[in-house]
Structure 1
Amino acid sequence: MLKKYARLHQRCQSVLDQLSVPHPFTIDALCQELSAQRRRPLHLHPLPQQVARNSICGMWLATETDDHIFFEQRTSRVHQEHILLHEIGHMLFDHCGTDLGRGEVSQALLPDLSPQLVQRLLGRASYTNRQEQEAEMLASLLRIRASPTAARTPHSVLGRLEAALGTRAADER
């Protein structure tokens, strides 16, 4: 079990290491960064009540040109942010969609969008499969990386070793 967790952590860390996390951190700043990195707009939407009633609290919908993340609005701000980070995890891993009644759900989310344009639709429901575990771990690691103290903490092995030995240059402290 420990090896499985370590491999999961390593996969998530390698994805996170490719991401520039804005400091100071905000969800909006992260979404702007992701949009620029992916060269496609990223839109955030509250989940319509008819979708939220189906035990779904977050969803990533990708079209050919845009990304859309839907989140439960009837929860705390901290929980909303975690839902958004979880869906961003799916996006960064480029996880494959699952069939959640694709036409019905996408029509409830974006009624003007043709179901044929939906490339990926991922809904957050359980954490038993690999994709959900990766998205959840990446969300947690992203939150840790975004913390104010993380801006001063080196992320590379060499940087952490230099910090531990006290050999980091003064301008890096």
Structure 2
Amino acid sequence: MRKTSKKHLSSLRDDVLAGIPRPVPRDFAAIIGALRDFACQRADGRSVEVVYRRFPPSTVSGLLVETDDRVIIAVEESTNPTHQLLIFTHELGHLLMGHCHDHKDADTPALRAAARALGDDFDPSEVVAVLAARTNFGRREEHDAERFAVMLTAALQQHVEQGPSSPAYGLAGRLQSSLGPRGRGLDR
């Protein structure tokens, strides 16, 4: 699979940014809601749901599950809002880029545990098949989704009201400090 060009990812980011309301929301929950609304327009008539779940350690932090009638984007609930936005935009990237997954070697204890974290929303065996294809971060699809997520999050970051609920530490802190006080792509 070929690497997706930066130009293509930038164009996709710009399409998303053009599709969210102005003024851009100023808090994480409202931004994710606006992005979910945008995803609904691109989901071929399916509903798009965002759920927050606690995934077991060493499994996943986010998950995109597509069925015939709905799309669920699951985001780790036990992380800070900046990281949740990054996780959500990563999964959104998979949806918008039409990534499909093969389901080889789908049955491992870690994947079964992550699937159970979704609770009664899905049959765990269905989710395990989706998760199995998402565990190799060397895959081009994972790399492209991550590049897209960083680009989109950077563009949205400037609009978020920072406060005590969004500490600058770990991955989210490194992302925030590398982006600086203003992201690229949107004017207020």
**Residue 152 of structure 1 aligns to which amino acid in structure 2?**
D
Structure whose CA Rg is larger: 1
Following superposition, the deviation at residue 126 of structure 1 comes to 5.1
1:8 is matched with: 5
Q: Does 1:136 align with 2:146?
A: yes
2:51 is matched with: 45
TM-score by length of 1: 0.67
Following superposition, the deviation at residue 30 of structure 1 comes to 1.2
TM-score by length of 2: 0.62
Q: How does 1:14-53 map to 2 (within 5 A)?
A: 14-19=11-16, 20-23=19-22, 24-25=24-25, 26-38=31-43, 39-49=45-55, 52-53=56-57
1:160 is matched with: none
Following superposition, the deviation at residue 54 of structure 1 comes to 3.8
Aligned length: 146
| CA distance in 2 between partners of 1:116 and 1:124 (Å) | 15
Structure 1: gaps of 5 or more residues: 154-173
Q: Does 1:121 align with 2:121?
A: no
| CA distance in 2 between partners of 1:83 and 1:112 (Å) | 19
Following superposition, the deviation at residue 84 of structure 1 comes to 0.6
Structure 2: gaps of 5 or more residues: 26-30, 160-181
Q: Does 1:145 align with 2:145?
A: no
**Residue 8 of structure 2 aligns to which amino acid in structure 1?**
R
| Structure 1 runs, 4 residues or longer, greater than 6 Å off | 115-118
Q: Does 1:86 align with 2:121?
A: no
| CA distance in 2 between partners of 1:142 and 1:8 (Å) | 15
